[in-house]
Amino acid sequence: MGQKSDSLIAYNVLEKRIIDAGFCTQCGACEAACPVSALHVEGEKVKHTYDCSKDMDLCPICYEICPHSEALLLRSLSFVADTPVKNEALGYYRKIVLAQAVDPKIRELSRGGGVVTSLLKFGIENKLFDSAIVSQVEPDNPAKPKASVATVPDDIMSAIGSKFFPSSVAKAYGSAVYAYGKSNIAFVGVPCHVLALRKLEAWQHKISNNLKITIGLFCFGTLSLNALLEYIKTKYNVDPSDVKQLRLSSKLVITTSKGELRIPMSEASEHILPSCRKCTDFTSELADISIGSAYPMKDWSTVIIRTKAGEDFFYKAVENGAINTWVIEEEPTVIERVMIAAMNKRNAGLKNAKEIEKISGYLPATLLRESEALAKTKIADIMAKNVKTVLETTTVSQFLDLVARCHHIGYPLVNQNGEPLGWITLEEAVSVDKEKRSHTTVGEIARHKLVTAYTDETALEAFKKMSENETGRIIILARNEPKKIAGVITKTDLMHILTQQ
Ligand SMILES: Cc1cc2nc3c(=O)[nH]c(=O)nc-3n(C[C@H](O)[C@H](O)[C@H](O)COP(=O)(O)OP(=O)(O)OC[C@H]3O[C@@H](n4cnc5c(N)ncnc54)[C@H](O)[C@@H]3O)c2cc1C
Ligand code: SF4
Ligand code: SF4
Ligand code: SF4
């Protein structure tokens, strides 16, 4: 195929960096956004069915829209940045609550809280939107998600439950606009799906005007269906055509005509998509509302309400009797687990992204880059003041209660005089055995390395200190009172500056 310059025709870069490098998660955003319908997601592959470079000298769309490119990240973040809370582990939000469907049938079918289904059903029944993008299953392949445009409550009910394989939901969003003529669409997807939709909005693509609300699911990763079926054929002698159902609980459960086969999660997770290994977003940080499990509570979901639009919609459903809520602070184990999962995913994703950059020379999408904007901003103007500190004599149990109430994952550690000693984080606290937590003090387990900056330094200097010391947070001191904490800065604060720019 005769090709024009790599940098001018986005497909050339998309093919090299995303598709051929194995980072495509088959969302179909490139297909929905392409102005000349040159792209089609088929099976587990994106096909370029027409050489767009013949007719175009320049087109940046598909690469920029792809959720796995570095483009448009900060602008995408700005859709949720106008919120009261910025949290290192969970992103921007207004409120976190526990919730469940009032309808017991929905709860039973979902095997979780059934909140997504109840919200969508409520929205369609009350004409808050005219359609919803959901993931049903292919009729002839019960393991394969089929992204579809739901227009009536029955469509929504038939999509209930999680499918742990890629779903082309952004492609279905494009069909809702072009083929179904829908103008008020609710969208459900995992974090990279939501990012693709936010990128369409950031690009001001015409189809993004039809988006009403985004519901993001928590996500640890998606498995490659073909690779997994090939594996169970070779290892367990199961013919793919005999697979009636694939389900994930603590194990991968495969139902065939001969009965059930249970495969350990460690074997299933070998088939996770390459993009998931460098992914840093667990809780769908860019969605209007994010929803995940509330383990160990059965039949409940954790709901993170991020935007005003999300809050209005969610509480309309609550007031009209579709959803029950409960206070998450009353269930400290739930919030602790969500924060640990988010933190672990972020740390692993950043580590793997660095490895990938070393090998390929290309940095897969992560959410912070140095920028001139940081050099122009004084620390005093952006640091958090009135900092909640933790005394070194506090026990680990007391500290975990504080985390459950305040939702922050790291706190400056201080001595009796209020002088900073280092940081104590959730990660260190949960590494202490449960039975030892009431008589172990945080002073015994905290990192005593003190990384500080002064109020009159710039945000860029703070960022450099964070990078050099491999930490996401530093303590800020005033030059005239260097033993007293004047404030703190986290990487989330720095990201906030960039989104505001
Ligand atoms: C791949 C994947 C990984 C997940 N990992 C975690 C995790 O590690 N921890 C956690 O707490 N929660 C995780 N979740 C979310 C969790 O499984 C539930 O989806 C969430 O708690 C909502 O529950 P619910 O009962 O409200 O959903 P329901 O009311 O059952 O509705 C589920 C909705 O999800 C949509 N959906 C199903 N599969 C997909 C898919 N593959 N892509 C896009 N949309 C889909 C359906 O359209 C449906 O509308 C994951 C979900 C998926 C799809
Ligand atoms: S025309 Fe379509 S395939 Fe070609 S670069 Fe633009 S978006 Fe990509
Ligand atoms: S936009 Fe979606 S379908 Fe297209 S290359 Fe990127 S991940 Fe794959
Ligand atoms: S782990 Fe990240 S890249 Fe993988 S499916 Fe989930 S959101 Fe997408």
Tens-digit pLDDT profile for residues 239-271 = 888 888 888 878 888 888 888 989 998 899 999
- State percent of the chain over pLDDT 90: 64
* pLDDT given for residue 1 in this prediction: 42
**Average confidence (pLDDT) over 162-191:** 97
Instruction: Report the greatest alpha carbon distance in the chain.
Output: 76
**Average confidence (pLDDT) over 100-105:** 97
Going from the Cα of 190 to the center of ligand 4, the distance in angstroms, rounded, reads 7
Mutating to test ligand 4, I would choose from 18, 192, 194 the residue with most ligand atoms within 8 A of its C-beta, which is 192
Note the ligand closest to the C-alpha atom of 200: 3
Atom of ligand 4 lying closest to residue 220 CA: 1
- Strand partners of residue 289: 215, 305
**Average confidence (pLDDT) over 48-70:** 89
> Is residue 134 within 6 Å of ligand 1 at its C-beta?
yes
d(CA 341, CA 202): 28
What is the pLDDT of the chain when averaged over all its residues? Answer: 90
Q: Quick one: pLDDT band at residue 122, thresholds 50, 70, 90?
A: very high
Name the packing angle between helices 115-125 and 308-319 (round to 10°): 80
Alpha helices in 181-299 (DSSP H): 191-203, 225-236, 265-268, 274-277
pLDDT in tens, 184-226: 999 999 999 999 999 999 999 999 999 999 999 999 999 998 8
Mutating to test ligand 2, I would choose from 11, 24, 206, 207 the residue with most ligand atoms within 8 A of its C-beta, which is 11
Cα end-to-end span (Å), the chain = 40
Going from the Cα of 275 to the center of ligand 4, the distance in angstroms, rounded, reads 7
d(CA 367, CA 496): 11
Site of tokens 């002698």:
237
If you take atom 5 of ligand 3, which residue's CA is the nearest one? 24
Tokens of 360: 């390929």
Pocket of ligand 2 (CB under 6 A): 9-11, 34-36, 38-39, 52, 56, 59, 61-62
pLDDT in tens, 311-327: 999 999 999 999 999 99
Lowest mean pLDDT among 3-17, 176-190, 231-245, 388-402: 3-17
Going from the Cα of 33 to the center of ligand 2, the distance in angstroms, rounded, reads 8
Q: Quick one: pLDDT band at residue 4, thresholds 50, 70, 90?
A: very low
Tokens of 249: 């609980």
Tokens of 195: 């990012």
Tokens of 422: 């280092």
Atom of ligand 4 lying closest to residue 190 CA: 7
Instruction: Measure Cα distances from 46 to 17, 20, 42, 49, 318 in Å.
Output: 13, 10, 6, 9, 40
Going from the Cα of 218 to the center of ligand 3, the distance in angstroms, rounded, reads 19
> Is residue 33 within 6 Å of ligand 3 at its C-beta?
no
Has residue 399 got a pLDDT over 50? Answer: yes
> Is residue 192 within 6 Å of ligand 4 at its C-beta?
yes
Other residues' Cβ atoms within 10 Å of the Cβ of residue 402: 18
pLDDT in tens, 455-475: 999 988 898 888 788 888 899
* pLDDT given for residue 2 in this prediction: 44
Nearest by Cα to 362 from 370, 371, 354: 354
d(CA 395, CA 403): 13
**Average confidence (pLDDT) over 436-446:** 95
> Is residue 290 within 6 Å of ligand 4 at its C-beta?
no
Under DSSP, the state recorded for 189 is E
Tokens of 371: 């920028």
Going from the Cα of 162 to the center of ligand 3, the distance in angstroms, rounded, reads 21
> Is residue 167 within 6 Å of ligand 1 at its C-beta?
yes
> Is residue 153 within 6 Å of ligand 4 at its C-beta?
no
Lowest mean pLDDT among 173-187, 364-378, 412-426: 364-378
Going from the Cα of 39 to the center of ligand 3, the distance in angstroms, rounded, reads 10
Alpha helices in 426-468 (DSSP H): 426-430, 442-445, 459-468
Going from the Cα of 45 to the center of ligand 4, the distance in angstroms, rounded, reads 17
**Average confidence (pLDDT) over 425-440:** 94
Has residue 370 got a pLDDT over 80? Answer: no
Has residue 293 got a pLDDT over 70? Answer: yes
Q: Quick one: pLDDT band at residue 368, thresholds 50, 70, 90?
A: low
Under DSSP, the state recorded for 329 is G
Q: What is the pTM of this model?
A: 0.89
Alpha helices in 189-264 (DSSP H): 191-203, 225-236
* pLDDT given for residue 365 in this prediction: 65
* pLDDT given for residue 44 in this prediction: 84
d(CA 415, CA 397): 18
pLDDT in tens, 15-54: 998 999 899 999 999 999 999 999 999 988 999 998 888 8
Atom of ligand 1 lying closest to residue 106 CA: 29
Lowest mean pLDDT among 72-76, 181-185, 482-486: 72-76
Tokens of 45: 């592959």
Compute the 3-state secondary structure of the chain and give helix, strand, coil in percent, each to the nearest 5: 40, 25, 35
Atom of ligand 3 lying closest to residue 46 CA: 3
41, containing H or E segment: strand 39-42
> Is residue 175 within 6 Å of ligand 4 at its C-beta?
no
Domains detected in the chain: 10-68 (3.30.70), 73-222+275-350 (3.40.640), 225-271 (3.10.450), 368-500 (3.10.580.10)
Note the ligand closest to the C-alpha atom of 19: 3
Atom of ligand 4 lying closest to residue 284 CA: 7
Has residue 476 got a pLDDT over 60? Answer: yes
Instruction: Measure Cα distances from 343 to 19, 194, 389, 395 in Å.
Output: 28, 19, 20, 22
Lowest mean pLDDT among 25-29, 352-356, 487-491: 352-356
Q: Quick one: pLDDT band at residue 495, thresholds 50, 70, 90?
A: confident
Going from the Cα of 385 to the center of ligand 4, the distance in angstroms, rounded, reads 35
